[in-house]
Structure 1
Amino acid sequence: MTRIGILALQGDVVEHERALARVGAETVRVRRADELDTVDGLVIPGGESTTIDKLLRIFALFDPLKARLDDGLPVLGTCAGMIMLATDIIGAIDGQRSLGAIPMTVRRNAFGRQVDSSEAELTWLPDGSTMHATFIRAPWVEECAAEVEVLAVDESHGSHPVAVRYRHAIATSFHPEISRDDRVHALLVDAATAR
């Protein structure tokens, strides 16, 4: 069975566990480098990107995680996880680092403050179907390299990409783990299984 880790420093860990179980994956919570070594793929959940960055450093996980991603570990970053996977961040605090797994620039808190959280119906571009999305203080993609595949765009906020895929990395502005639509998690499990 494919084993997917969930970075368990902050964020929707339980909700991701449930979504991954629905698509047939075994899960493990990752807080240490030795736990990271045991997984076929990883979820970086939402939360607060500056806090995740600091906790990765405190737990001595930043460098091992970056090395695994550079080596092709399949990864899904949701909301703050999207920010962590970007190469460039607009609105970053001084000293904030990212993992640079997707050649894109994201804007932190692009959708506004917590009270500006919203829901939207998106078009899932791979098959043209509708996907319900929940945005909570979400980022969006300002720009990305031509080789980055755009999976969904939010038409209500200026047509910014809100779901992308690049090689082994997938990122969403929204929280697929709370919608009970498991397509995004299935993409991660498929990538991890195929590796």
Structure 2
Amino acid sequence: MAGDQGAARSPLIGVLSLQGDVREHLAALAAAGAAPTTVRRPDELAAVEGLVIPGGESTTMSKLAVLFGMLEPLRERVRAGMPVYGTCAGLILLAEKILDPRSGQETVGGIDMIVRRNAFGRQNESFEAAVEVAGVGPGPVDGVFIRAPWVESVGAGVEVLAEHGGHVVAVRQGNALATSFHPELTGDHRLHGFFTQMVRSAR
């Protein structure tokens, strides 16, 4: 009975709250059936079952992760198999390599991919598009692309979940999920539900 109750319990999922669109992810996770919380310190990271790394400015986020003593704890938990979902800047932080890194920019890693920053253009070239994401249906999700990266190449262990305009925009490797776009800025919470189920399955 206790095991059944544990499986049914809403998973505690953190949103890395150093910079970026934190509030929107918290709301989307709650709508998807998770118990969301902010994460800024290593002790808060240690308490969660999964983590969302939001969109924002990837260089700033990586420098703040170092400043707050979060970079190595993040790397350790991701290596240990904690479910993690990165959107836009979060996708960049989950990459093993960035083609065009800014000075001092580091990544958490976790997905065997090479990414290109701002690949779809700058702020004034932002757009929305319908994106078919494998495993998230029925029908496409509304992808909001804001200074969005794309995935240049992936390793053998990475599953490509979606492409747009001939470029990879959603991937998964084990317990790590990443999208170039921002699902939290729409009313469609299926990707957050997909990630919440990943966290449940990892228990």
- Match for 2:141: what amino acid? M
Does residue 135 of structure 1 match 2:142? no
Judged with a 3 Å threshold, the aligned counterparts in structure 2 of structure 1 residues 27 and 128 are, in CA distance, closer, same or farther, namely closer
Deviation at 1:186, TM superposition (A): 1.3
> 5 Å matches for 1:10-159?
10-126=19-135, 127=137, 129-155=139-165, 159=166
> Is the 2:14–2:48 contact (alpha carbons within 8 Å) kept by the matching residues of 1?
yes
Mapped to 2, the partners of 1:128 and 1:2 lie a distance apart of: 24
Deviation at 1:150, TM superposition (A): 1.1
Aligned match of 1:176: 183
Mapped to 1, the partners of 2:186 and 2:104 lie a distance apart of: 33
Mapped to 1, the partners of 2:188 and 2:171 lie a distance apart of: 16
- Match for 1:149: what amino acid? E
Aligned match of 1:189: 196
- Match for 1:166: what amino acid? Q
> Is the 2:63–2:104 contact (alpha carbons within 8 Å) kept by the matching residues of 1?
no
In structure 1, runs of 5+ residues without a counterpart are: none
TM-score (norm 2): 0.92
Does residue 166 of structure 1 match 2:180? no
Mapped to 1, the partners of 2:51 and 2:126 lie a distance apart of: 26
Deviation at 1:128, TM superposition (A): 6.8
| Percent of aligned positions that are identical | 51
**SS state of the match for residue 37, structure 1?**
helix
* Dislocated runs of 4+, deviation >4 Å: none
In structure 2, runs of 5+ residues without a counterpart are: 1-9
Q: Deviations over 1:47-81 (max 9, x none)?
A: 00000000000000000111000000000000000
RMSD (Å), alpha carbons: 1.1
Judged with a 3 Å threshold, the aligned counterparts in structure 2 of structure 1 residues 89 and 41 are, in CA distance, closer, same or farther, namely same
Q: Deviations over 1:103-125 (max 9, x none)?
A: 00000000111001111111223
